[in-house]
Amino acid sequence: MEKKILINLSFSVWPMLNYELDLIQQKLNEGHIVKVLYCNASPDYCEANQVKILNYKKLKSVCNYCQSRFNDGLNWLDNKDKLLIENFDLIDISQQKIISEYDKLLRKKDKVDEEILLFLENISSNLLEVCITNIISTTESVLIDYKDKKNFNLFKRISKFTIASFYSSLNHMQKFNPDEVYIYNGRIYKYQPMVRIAQSMMDGENINVYEWPMHGNLNMVVFKNNYGHDPKNYSKQLLKFSNENDTNFLEKEVFTKKWLDKTINKKTHPWKNKQIKNLLPSNFNKSHFNITYFASSEFEFLGIPEVEKDFKFKNNYAAIKSILRCIEKKPNTFLNVRMHPLGGMDSKIYLSELIKLKDKHSNIEIIDPDSTADSYALMKNSDLIIVIHSTAGLEAAYLKKNVITLGPTTYMSFEIAKNCSDEKELALLLNKCVDQKNFEDFPTDNIKYENIINYGYAFCNYNYKSKFLIEKVSKFKPLFRKFKVNMLKNNKIYTLRAKPIFRYIYFTYYIISTCMQKIKFFFIK
């Protein structure tokens, strides 16, 4: 049966274009009508083209490269008689007037106030959510002062184009009335409005939000009915996949153990290079009942309503204070806080706040993001592990540790850890663990192990299978990705290429910006 499929593409400057072309070609070959929305370089602000030192301004050269690469991708496609290509921007005169009114309002302001919030609310209740999550993601900070001129300028730019994205998304959805939608990322200002509109118009099974491959290089991940930053929704989908998958347990076990052993035992992330194997923090005392809290990278999850709805612990700091209150009258009980090595711009602020806590509490040790202490040695020597969203909880459970989660995780639908939604529940559980040495509320090692195996296999294999992609290992690993994905056409390799002049200019920019990021990571503390 012929379907109408709407695809809201990523920015073609990104390597996602290869996967999107594969998706488009598969749907065309199945006989469906496919409408593709692309960027025509109109917004002043772009997630894929922003120079922070120039107040997030765009570079025309990046736009030229992006569009040229997209046009080359269209040349690769076959069976294009049912393919519709449209600019994402689709705003009528009345909607443009509203945007102009908002722009005039912003010019009168020097900070975010009630009038601005009300204006956004009157257009759609979701717009403020979109603005906040995008600012958090862009600045890598949840501690944003909107009175600051730079932050307010960023808010103005993002909010203005969020409104434009909302109207464009609404108009495309109403005009095309698709049977299925495929939307990139779902969190970025260009895409999140369409996710929310689709949720109000369609069955969740027909809403597909796709992302960069998490495991394996050829198959992108597709989330149903919401973006991937909703761990609860994602976890349910993984459990469903696991239950419906007929792969035998032994095969799953070999696969998952290989994946987790590699994660734990090898330096798979740059920050792991700083850690010395088996090194414990200098003040770690094995005679204590040691609780270790592994902090999450907050900018990745905060501002997401689905994350904040069911759990009372709003951030790392709130969670740590709750734990301290729960153990303050428990002698010989110690809290180790392992700060996230990728904590973003908030790390220094949180560190200073946690140091203040340390001045008030003698039973807390702060392990800063740059510490050379081995996180896995810390896990192995702890009596109890606590996380909010962190995958460290999964790794600790694999190492046969009892784990408490204080927020939604991708493994929460599997019986791997004990979930606590508020401080009262946490206090009762800690009383059992610390005072009574009673861990009966946690899954047994056998149950935990079986569910870890099922989760790991599902997590790594839950994806959209490509048909026209081929992987090629890159020769320039220090600067570029370890692999390159090319297209296949009539059994011949096809490499997407922008016009030479745009390609050379863009890669000069890319090399400079990549080198600056690596220098910042390794040398700036």
Question: What residue ranges do the domains of the chain occupy?
Answer: 250-461
Give alpha helix (H) positions in 41-126.
60-76, 93-107, 114-123
Residue range 253-276: mean pLDDT, rounded: 80
Residue 386 structure tokens: 């606590």
- Mean pLDDT lowest among 63-67, 351-355, 479-483: 479-483
Q: How far is CA 109 from CA 97, 115, 125, 133, 237, in A?
A: 19, 10, 21, 21, 44
CA–CA gap between residue 442 and residue 416 (Å, rounded): 8
* DSSP helix/strand/coil, 331: coil
* DSSP helix/strand/coil, 399: coil
CA–CA gap between residue 53 and residue 242 (Å, rounded): 46
CA–CA gap between residue 91 and residue 81 (Å, rounded): 27
- Mean pLDDT lowest among 5-19, 44-58, 111-125, 426-440: 44-58
Residue range 159-186: mean pLDDT, rounded: 96
> Rg of the Cα trace of the chain?
24
% residues pLDDT > 70 (the chain):
89
- Listed residue (181, 140, 133) closest to 158, CA to CA: 133
Residue 221 structure tokens: 């991940």
Give Cβ neighbours of residue 184 (< 8 Å, ≥ 6 apart).
8, 9, 10, 16, 20, 191, 209, 210, 211
pLDDT at 525 over 50: no
Of 141 and 383, the structure prediction assigns the larger pLDDT to 383
CA–CA gap between residue 295 and residue 283 (Å, rounded): 19
Q: Could you read off the pLDDT of 125-146 as tens digits, one per residue?
A: 989 988 988 888 777 777 777 7
Q: Could you read off the pLDDT of 335-382 as tens digits, one per residue?
A: 999 987 765 555 566 777 787 888 888 899 999 888 889 999 999 999
Position 368 scores a pLDDT of 85
User: Does residue 357 contact residue 313 with C-beta atoms inside 8 Å?
Assistant: no
Position 481 scores a pLDDT of 47
CA–CA gap between residue 315 and residue 321 (Å, rounded): 10
Q: Mean pLDDT across the chain, nearest whole number?
A: 88
Please give the model's pTM, rounded to 2 decimal places.
Answer: 0.89
Position 519 scores a pLDDT of 57
CA–CA gap between residue 50 and residue 68 (Å, rounded): 18
pLDDT at 472 over 90: no
Position 523 scores a pLDDT of 45
- Evaluate whether the domain defined by 250-461 bears CATH number 3.40.50.2000: yes
Q: How many CB atoms lie within 10 A of CB 98?
A: 16
Q: Could you read off the pLDDT of 21-41 as tens digits, one per residue?
A: 999 999 999 999 999 999 888
pLDDT at 158 over 70: yes
Q: Could you read off the pLDDT of 297-331 as tens digits, one per residue?
A: 766 666 677 777 767 888 888 899 999 999 999 99
Residue range 103-111: mean pLDDT, rounded: 94
User: Does residue 64 contact residue 502 with C-beta atoms inside 8 Å?
Assistant: yes
* DSSP helix/strand/coil, 319: helix
CA–CA gap between residue 190 and residue 88 (Å, rounded): 9
pLDDT at 452 over 90: yes
Give Cβ neighbours of residue 197 (< 8 Å, ≥ 6 apart).
166, 169, 170, 173
CA–CA gap between residue 419 and residue 387 (Å, rounded): 10
Position 480 scores a pLDDT of 44
CA–CA gap between residue 457 and residue 246 (Å, rounded): 12
Burial state string for 477-498 with b = 16 or more CB within 10 A and e = fewer than 16: eeeeeeebbebeeeeeebebeb
User: Does residue 442 contact residue 418 with C-beta atoms inside 8 Å?
Assistant: yes
Q: Could you read off the pLDDT of 401-421 as tens digits, one per residue?
A: 999 999 899 999 999 999 999
Residue 274 structure tokens: 């700083």
